[in-house]
Amino acid sequence: MNEEQALMPESHLGTLKDVVFRQEDFLIGYMETDKRERIKIKGSLYGVEKGEEIAIKGKWETHPKYGRQFAVETWERPIPQTKEQVIAFLASPLVKGCGPKQAVMIYEKLGENAIDIISGEGESCLEGIKGIGPKRRNKIVESVRSTFEVQKVISELLVYGITAEVAMKAYKEFGPNAAAIILENPYELIKLDNIGFLKADEIARKIGILPISSFRIDACMEFVLTKTCYSSGHCYVEEHELFKQVELALNHHSTGDDIVTMEEIEQSVLRLDGDTIVIDEDGSIYPKRLFNYEKSLARKLSRLRGSRGGEAMSFLEKQITTYQKKNRIILAEKQREAVKRLFFEQMLILTGGPGTGKTTVVKAMIDVFKSVYPKAQIALAAPTGRASRKLSDVTGQEAKTIHSLIGYRPGDKAEYNNDNKLPANFLVVDEVSMVDLHLMHLLLQAVENDTKILLVGDTDQLPSVSPGNVLADMIQAGIPTVRLTDVFRQAEESQIVTNAHRINKGKPLLIDTTKNDFYFIRNDQPEHIAQLIVLSVVRFMNLGYDLSDIMVLSPMKKGPVGTIVLNQMLRDTINPKTAYTNEWKIGDRVFRVGDKILQKKNNRDKDVYNGDIGIIRAIDKYFDTELNEHIQILTANFGGRNVTYKREDLDQIELGYAITIHKSQGGEAPIVIIPMTTSHYIMLARNLVYTGLTRAKEKAVFIGTDKAMNMAIANDKITKRNSRLSERIIAEIHYNDRYKENERVNEFR
């Protein structure tokens, strides 16, 4: 640093003249100071617009590439005070929904203190101003408040190595007091998306939190417990295993006096027990919400299990005979048994593999039930949008996602719940193997005890992504179940069905090359496998299949044949960029008209759900007259329905040319293509391959090695999920039985 630089003040008031963003989240630009000197600046000036006047504080440095520059440590946007400043600020891009005319009218009503008044009083101070309706008022107030509140939060947190992006998330989660909350307990950051314990721990050290702080130990305990449950599907973790993982996480940097002892870890559990975690009777430790869901669901299932109904057998025989004549169909003995059993049980589970006639039986059950109870209200549901549409196609009746049926949005109370029951006499739920503990809890809490329930699922498919093993646990607990085992002659002719059952029995594939419904293309190079997948998709499209007819399924996201690589290769081949292609780039993500996309989150407002597949049809801009700005939108078609996305919605979608087998559950397609390589050895399991194969309706194509396929077929060691739902159901049933017996005894006394 030279003498001139050393004498320069550390604080400057200047106007940002030019801005260029780099990947590292830093900003390189030019600022004109109050001395009219153009200097380079470097720092995290999040949300600063070109031409703004800001006060910055920092120090001079020389960058090897950018030369002399001012490294910004903190910055501040002065609150506008004069008429010109207030109007200019309100009319700037920082304030959504306000143009020059509205800015003048706001100043005329509120005066030079307009910004303070808007921040303090909110929307009410803008009422009565011509042209500023409710939508605009909300946007203006939100913009003004966030502009100054966010800047304060960011500047306070930057010095501790918290990026502007994380500070923004903290502001959205905790509000204007975000900095104070985080500086008191930085482990609150774990509540934000993508902030784990190790990252929060790193920030905590900079803030000065002691390694043996109870904040730190408790946060680690909760984080490890929750992460273990939700990544492995467990409802609880054994005490010794949890303590071992927590000790490892806490002491990864510690030495000497900083080491957290096992005694301190045990004290943490006692502090948290009953608040956010629960210690079960034998030392199993649950996140409190999962413990409550498990107990509540067991209680509800025991009540449904204990209820009985029943129609006269001869009457049912006539109804089934009438149904068969009307539909020109003959039900097999096991199928007829399932229909009859429905009328004798309050809750019934129907399970079986492909080709065993589950679809036929479900339709028969619904139609016979309607003929017996013509005025009954029937509700049909499935865990995903694709599964619900398939159920609707099969039955000819409207089917909804479970979320939509009970009116549930994550974070809110379901519309139909324990206090407001779902108006249904008969509830049918398909693809129950996908339903996790929480969702089944919500669904059954919304159902009356006298509602008849039919649960349909294949226990050999992958279990739910989230905690629980609900379908298997219910069957194990003795909930009435009909298992269809006979494969019908027509289905036996399908190599897809035949090989699905062979995989389930641990037998090798049996391929008849004279048929055209099952292919195994052998190649042992992952990069070549990826290329063959692309060529196969192109070949099927040339044969007349639509892009939406083809499912490319991979066991994993990462790797040379993972969905990330395959999506890019497939998009570059099928839908390459041209001079005429309309696309939307957000950071390092690009969406292009014609792209196949996957919906990642349930969105009831848009009626699109996790796992739905769509095609982008348009990317346009329109002018919102009320907000006085251009809005960019993306329109995608999902099975005939157009769904629009704004910029803030784009985190809900990703490319869907290739998806994981887990994401494919509940859906099906004429063509399914699956890579089989030992590079995915960690995921190679019998139920994974079985689930992927059974998505195919017409043709299945495996590309890879016999070794990988044989490894998968041989691996039937499904990871055990820690759950006590089954034993809780049994205990509740026994309790109810004893209670009823005691009541009967008391009647005779």
Strands 38-43 and 67-76, how do they pair?
parallel
Residue appearing with tokens 């199993």: 284
Residue appearing with tokens 């975000």: 178
Nearest to 249 by CA among 274, 235, 230, 268: 268
DSSP 643-710: EEE-GGGGGGEEE-SEEEHHHHTT--EEEEEEEE-GGGGGG--HHHHHHHHTTEEEEEEEEE-HHHHH
Burial class of residue 271, CB neighbours in 10 A (0-12, 13-18, 19+): middle
- 558 annotated as belonging to a binding site for a ligand: no
**Cα separation, 187 vs 218, whole angstroms:** 9
Count Cα atoms within 13 angstroms, Cβ side, for 172.
Answer: 9
* Count of CB atoms situated within 10 Å of the CB of 715: 17
Rg (CA), the chain: 31
- 359 annotated as belonging to a binding site for a ligand: yes
- 360 annotated as belonging to a binding site for a ligand: no
What's the angle, vertex CA 117, arms to CA 112 and CA 122, rounded to 5?
Answer: 145
Residues 161, 203 contacting (CB under 8 angstroms): yes
Which ranges in 495-651 belong to alpha helices (H)?
A: 495-504, 526-542, 563-574
State the maximum Cα–Cα separation within the chain, in Å, rounded to a whole number.
105
- 396 annotated as belonging to a binding site for a ligand: no
39's tokens: 């200097």
9's tokens: 């003040």
Residues 247, 221 contacting (CB under 8 angstroms): no
- 411 annotated as belonging to a binding site for a ligand: no
Residues 727, 301 contacting (CB under 8 angstroms): no
Instruction: Let me know how long the chain is.
Output: 749
For residue 140, the surrounding DSSP H or E stretch is: helix 134-158
301's tokens: 């299932």
**Cα separation, 597 vs 584, whole angstroms:** 14
Torsion on CA atoms 41, 43, 44, 46, rounded to nearest 10: -10
Count Cα atoms within 13 angstroms, Cβ side, for 323.
Answer: 25
587's tokens: 């950071």
**Cα separation, 484 vs 506, whole angstroms:** 19
Residues 366, 395 contacting (CB under 8 angstroms): yes
Q: Which residues are annotated as a binding site for ATP?
A: 355-359
For the annotated binding site, the residues are 355-359
